Amino acid sequence: MNRQKKLKQLFKAKAKKASAKLAPKSKDKYICKADRLKLAETSVESTIASES
């Protein structure tokens, strides 16, 4: 009984990991602070240029 329980537990854990890999990622990729500042600068410049 104990051996069966352990095998079942291992199988369930592997199945859970496999399904998690296939699931779509909910979080976006991390962007460092310097890159965020550059993106903000370029978006501000583009909005200023489009208003003129």
Question: pLDDT tens digit string along 16-39?
Answer: 999 998 888 788 889 999 999 999
Place of tokens 């370029």: 42
Structure confidence at residue 10 (pLDDT):
97
Q: What is the mean pLDDT of residues 7-15?
A: 97
For residue 39, give the amino acid letter: L
Structure tokens at 36: 């965020």
pLDDT band at 7 (very low <50, low <70, confident <90, very high): very high
Structure confidence at residue 9 (pLDDT):
97
Q: CA 42, CA 46: separation in Å to the nearest integer?
A: 6
pLDDT at 1 over 90: no
